[in-house]
Amino acid sequence: MNVSLTEKTAKTLRIEQRIGELVGEMTVAEKIGQMNQVCLVDHAVPEDARVALRSGRIGSVLNVVNVEIVNELQRIAVEESRLGIPLLIGRDVIHGFQTVMPIPLGQAATWNPTLLKEGARFSAQEAAASGVNWTFAPMIDISRDPRWGRIAESFGEDPHLTSELGVAMVRGFQGDDLSTRGSIAACAKHFAGYGDCESGRDYATTNIPENELRNVHLRPFRATVDAGVATIMASFSDLNGIPATASEFLMRQVLRDEWQFDGFVVSDFDSISQLCVHGLTENDKDAALQAVTAGIDMEMAGACYTEHLESLIDEGRVDIGVVDELVGNILRVKFRLGLFEDPYTNPSDFPSKPNADAMRAAKTAALQSVVMLKNDHDVLPLSCGNLRSIAVIGPLADAPYEQLGTWIFDGDPALSITCLQGVHDMVGDAVDVRFVRAMDTSRSRDTASFDEAVRAAQETDLSILFLGEESILTGEAHSRADIDLPGAQVELIRRIRKAGKKVIVVILAGRPLTLTNIVDEVDAILYAWHPGTMGGTAIAELLFGIESPSGKLPATMPRMVGQIPIYYNQKNTGKPPRPHELVFIDDIAEQAPQTSFGMFAFHLDAGFSPLFPFGYGLSYAKFEYKNIRTSIHEVEIGDKLTVSAELTNNGEVGAVEVAQLYVRDLVASVTRPVRELKGFKRVYVESGQTITVEFELQTSDLAFYGRDYKLVTEPGEFRVWIGGSSYADLQSEFQVIARQRGA
């Protein structure tokens, strides 16, 4: 028998025994205390908190990152309370702690799980050095609406990519063993469907049929549960008429019964009392009843449990056995973290901050996250030898705080290498760099400085504009109805264009923006998201060809906001669009008859295609895919096949390409998407080299939730593509057949 497996089983049994013994010793008040998370100040321990800790009425503390205060909180809980139960110290460590990685959507553009795991590991170590042992990440909501501010925290629109990256981040935060130094508990959020909020308005209603819920939105959560994520956070939103905080379907049927999750579920911030605001419950007491019945183990920053749960137990409306179960889930995570053995933090046990390795990881992540959307006439990369002067223009060129993005409570802007600094460091004294901010903020409509910017553009060899969104325009409760470049930025681009020189735009943003009104006004576009601490260095290296762009879009970029939701893995419909037959409003006859014959699904004023599709991204190399093939043409259910293609670099430089595998189930018992991502690989190809890109495809990878909401792989015809985006046109076919009897 495997020794490590035996040891793991023995450890699990010991933990379960200790949980049973400890729960058996606890009073009702102490049990409810474990279910209570409170917000405390970061500079002192208030007397009322000391009293509550001594009486065992606090199980977790939120937003304290002063290690001395954290250690004092732990000391009181462990040494002055009756049972000595240590605390969970929670913090939003979303994409870095002091050293900030690109926003999660930017990290998703790397299509590099290894890189996300490494970044999360450095973030965990920095946070752990401050006493934090629990983070509220990764956010794995499928996000198909760029108006939603929290798309910045997501990995985009695809369940397969989101699953791979979410699992990688969980493993980075938690390490191989939660009890090892530098590991912190991860929290997959928001369970479930939060990213599908109506019109992209944060906290708004979500209505998702169970077929869509299981086939799309729940898949990343299942993947992180299978990977051992320690905790789950319930969504703020109403899902199909039941707020997630009160959903027995989500928390008990799916999470506990079907998936066998044994960590714990935390509410979102004060979301239990918000059940009253939703109109689901009459008062906070009823809200506590519904949440605990659903299976919300811990209440974040609210008082419904502490004020009402004991009386609900006394009245017989809540069984004490239910409470014991929920408390046991919380204690299990504390035991797995090793807090009972060592609750204290010694900062000297961790790497110094800032740490050179963490900064290197931040730079690599920024480099790989940037997506080149346009590069007419190979204007990029730039060469110092061919330039005498550059105009650097825009409000985000020298914005150390803004480039960090949303959710960076502990990020240090003083560490940021800005885009302007990155360009200066790259060219040194060889090229004259003229900087004109032009706008105070990305939202400014004041054009008073535009003349100065135009003069700079006229008097230099070319202009690099650093535009986009400030960090405050994305994140929680920061949704936008208009996702064009804000303020007077479009006018600035057009004014600079009239200077008659080459115009390169670098966009720093927390979401995909609509760029139709500027895409033809510029020669090149680099989409850099909010790139984090080392963004300026990374962007400069890409501009000057030290590295080739390799980022690929994790979310579709619409032509205009009216196309939203627009995503690559849509259904075919009974009248799918036909590109060669599209007509637009101006082409319609004055008295066109209304008919359903020969019609198809598209917008009269936008067509059906996005501006840039999911998976898209250019390179300084010239990649060509050809000769796709499958290892077999028929595969039995339960077996696997290999899909491969030749990838040639016809360019003059070696570079990384993200090769992508897509599949379509042509006929099924429920309608299936026109394409689904099933695999991806980052591969380096030298100039002039041809390599074979190969993907292994299990028939289980083709499974979906059918009419009975059970996971099934059905026999039938499948189409498969390999290419550089979701618009790949190199295709083949194979057939899945039922397993033969006796096989």
- The 3-class SS string of 211-272 reads HHHHHHHCHHHHHHHHCCCCEEEECCCEECCEEHHHCHHHHHHHHHHHCCCCCEEECCCCCC
**Does 138 sit behind a cis peptide bond, omega within 30 degrees of 0 on the bond before it?**
yes
Q: Is 467:509 a contact under the CB 8 Å cutoff?
A: no
Separation CA 146–CA 509 (nearest Å): 11
**Residue pLDDT, tens place only, 537-555:** 999 999 999 999 999 999 9
Lowest mean pLDDT among 36-40, 446-450, 708-712, 737-741: 737-741
Q: What's the confidence (pLDDT) of residue 11?
A: 86
The domain of 696 spans: 623-737
Supply 24's token pair.
Answer: 């058996």
Query: Does position 589 have pLDDT exceeding 70, yes or no?
Result: no
Query: Does position 490 have pLDDT exceeding 60, yes or no?
Result: yes
Shared domain for 665 and 534, answered yes or no, is: no
| Confidence category of residue 580, pLDDT binned at 50, 70, 90 | low
Among candidate residues 499, 516, 543, the one where a domain is terminated: 543
The mean predicted confidence, pLDDT, of the chain is 96
- Told to judge if 378 belongs to the known catalytic residues of this protein, a careful annotator would answer no
Q: What's the confidence (pLDDT) of residue 1?
A: 43
Counting residues of the chain whose pLDDT is more than 70, the rounded percentage is: 96
Which pairs from 27-30 meet CB under 8 Å and 24+ separation?
27/56, 28/310, 28/313, 28/320, 28/323, 29/55, 29/56, 29/57, 29/310, 30/55, 30/56, 30/57, 30/82, 30/83
**Average of per-residue pLDDT across 705-730:** 96
Model confidence, pTM: 0.97
- Is 332 inside a domain boundary? no
- Is 630 inside a domain boundary? yes
Catalytic residue selected from 158, 238, 268, 665: 268
Q: What's the confidence (pLDDT) of residue 661?
A: 98
Q: What's the confidence (pLDDT) of residue 593?
A: 66
CA-closest candidate to residue 618, choices 452, 380, 459: 380
Among candidate residues 528, 543, 558, the one where a domain is terminated: 543
CATH of the domain at 649: 2.60.40.10
Q: What's the confidence (pLDDT) of residue 41?
A: 85
Shared domain for 531 and 643, answered yes or no, is: no
Shared domain for 539 and 674, answered yes or no, is: no
Q: What's the confidence (pLDDT) of residue 743?
A: 47
- Is 354 inside a domain boundary? no
Supply 146's token pair.
Answer: 């760029």
Helix 356-369 and helix 113-128, axial crossing angle in degrees, nearest 10: 140
Cα 478 to Cα 91, 105, 153, 466: the distances in Å are 20, 16, 12, 22
Shared domain for 482 and 629, answered yes or no, is: no
Query: Does position 535 have pLDDT exceeding 50, yes or no?
Result: yes
- Is 641 inside a domain boundary? yes
| 9 or 618: which leads in pLDDT | 618
**Residue pLDDT, tens place only, 350-361:** 998 889 999 999
Shared domain for 368 and 515, answered yes or no, is: yes
In the three-class reduction of DSSP (H, G, I as helix; E, B as strand; rest coil), residue 495 is classed as helix
- Count of domains observed in the chain: 2
What's the gap between Cα 99 and its chain centre?
18
Among candidate residues 543, 571, 588, the one where a domain is terminated: 543
- Is 275 inside a domain boundary? no
In the block, tokens 């825009």 appear at: 394
Q: Please, which residues have CB within 8 angstroms of residue 137's CB and are 6 or more apart in sequence? A: 92, 93, 94, 95, 104, 120, 169, 173, 186, 187, 189
Go through the chain and tell me how many residues it has: 743
Query: Does position 595 have pLDDT exceeding 70, yes or no?
Result: no
Shared domain for 528 and 628, answered yes or no, is: no
Q: What's the confidence (pLDDT) of residue 173?
A: 98
Shared domain for 642 and 532, answered yes or no, is: no
Shared domain for 503 and 644, answered yes or no, is: no
CATH of the domain at 399: 3.40.50.1700
Shared domain for 403 and 539, answered yes or no, is: yes
| Confidence category of residue 423, pLDDT binned at 50, 70, 90 | very high
**Average of per-residue pLDDT across 605-623:** 95
- Is 743 inside a domain boundary? no
Radius of gyration of the chain (CA): 27
DSSP state of 723: E
Q: What's the confidence (pLDDT) of residue 584?
A: 65
Supply 421's token pair.
Answer: 């600094």
**Does 192 sit behind a cis peptide bond, omega within 30 degrees of 0 on the bond before it?**
yes
DSSP state of 440: S
Q: What's the confidence (pLDDT) of residue 42?
A: 86
Separation CA 284–CA 303 (nearest Å): 9
